[in-house]
Structure 1
Amino acid sequence: MATAEPGQGGHHRVPEAPDPLPIPVVDNHTHLDIARDGEEAPDVAAAIAAATAVGVDRLVQIGCDLPGARFTVEMVDRHPAMLGGVALHPNEAPRLARAGALDAAYAEIEALAAHPRVRVVGETGLDYFRTGPEGVGTQQDSFRWHIDLAKRTGKALQIHDRDSHDDVLRILDEEGAPERTVMHCFSGDVSMARTCAERGYYLSFAGTVTFKNARGLRDALSVTPLDRVMVETDAPYLTPAPWRGATNAPYLVPLTVRAMAGVLGVAVPTLCQAVSDNAEAVYGPW
């Protein structure tokens, strides 16, 4: 594998593989259907092999638009290491609504979610960073629809929450959260982490927890119980230090796991076992 020195170049540099983890873990949220600008889409089999070689032997592939959801269902049939999630991303719902295509998209997502290896409805939620005030109502309606779908189908719910913490928690309260609810790429503070844990939600941390300017996020992790912690890449984005800015992939999860273990004050094997157990509690056996 070609490598580059940390801090050099843009996202085209290829990080070297980290040391393998002592106990295999799950990448709770990745997008192997997405290629960054100027790059080819990942080779799924190669991405799984590279991850497995460093102790990331299972992953949850998330398709958050219709092409991605179709891809996800196709891939989970081919690759035993992969389970899937399907939904309309909160930024996708207003776009489809403007095109008069939202109801048809809902129907297709519901059909794809029935696949037995699709164990997640998500990512859904709210994003007030990319969608302006004119799209908030549609986003909130879409979030409510996905919550209902997760409960009707018995699937876990994965939530995207960007600049929308209060409304995400309010809507979960109003609708009633599914039994298994995961805050994907958790970005809240200590208070929100405690609130989510008290409600039985799982908190999934991405490479952002390794960033130098993420002290508040590490503080939130530090109060999260081990039986509520997950780890993810959100690949191809949010690559952990020291490779921030490069293209992310599931094989880089060990960097985040080791940083998280340090924050939590636990041994790496202890965190690995907790992450693995939590994933299987949420999604079932692979």
Structure 2
Amino acid sequence: MSPARWFAVAPAVVVVLIALIGPDIPAASATAAAAGPFQPADPARPLGTDVLGRDVLARVLAGGRTLVLQAGAATLIGSAVGLAVGVWAGTTSRTSLAGVVMRLVDAVAAIPAIIVLLLLAAGFPGNDLVVMGVIAAVSIPFSVRVLRERAAALAATDYARDAAARGESRWRRVRDDILPGLTPTALTEAGVRFVAATQLAATAGFLGLGAGAPAANWGRLVRENSTGMMSNPAPVIVPAVLLVVLAVGVTVALDRAAETRVGGLGPAGAAP
């Protein structure tokens, strides 16, 4: 990756590191009051205090791990299931069954994600794994739809038809003729899914789903401290900026990876 691309991705890498190792960094208590509510930044508290007088820096450091892990795991699960079902639906000869499966996928996709999140997560209060599972489940239909269309287009190409005419197995045709051309689409789609997963994970925190207070969560920080924006905006602005940088940076990284995999070849269309 070129220095310019590293520079574009570096902020997201920093955010991920903050999220993953932040809870282990020695800092002030993320749950105990340190001073009065919404105190501005000072040498002892670089980001000031929140609505309950807790150290904002400590809460930011403690509040990202669960959210990033939820979004990352949901993206991996959703993309894997979407890839498997999408490739099957786009290449199978059982078109009637594939049509039924796609109608079921469309029906699930028609349900607003936030409603599913509220219903299931509220039924299992305080469970971060349930929130992650819901985020993965609501992302699957869109992955299936996108990857199915691309897989069907690749299956209709001349080289894929020639492989079928030669009597090659379906698995070998998928491996050699479908997956290489599908990789750029899958990577780009995963980037879009990660952004959506991050938004849903932050929304879950904002709504108080998953682990409850006083556990820190970047989404919950925005909700808890919105009333004190005029006194100390840091508890709202800092987690919001971290979420934006994370989403944009991961999308850029996956887009760059997709560019180098077009058709399974290098950027110039030559074999690596």
> TM-score category by the smaller chain?
under 0.3
Structure with the greater alpha carbon radius of gyration: 2
Larger RCO (CA within 8 A; separation ≥ 6) = 2
More strand per residue: 1 or 2? Answer: 1
TM-score of the aligned structures, taking structure 2 as reference length: 0.23
TM-score of the aligned structures, taking structure 1 as reference length: 0.22
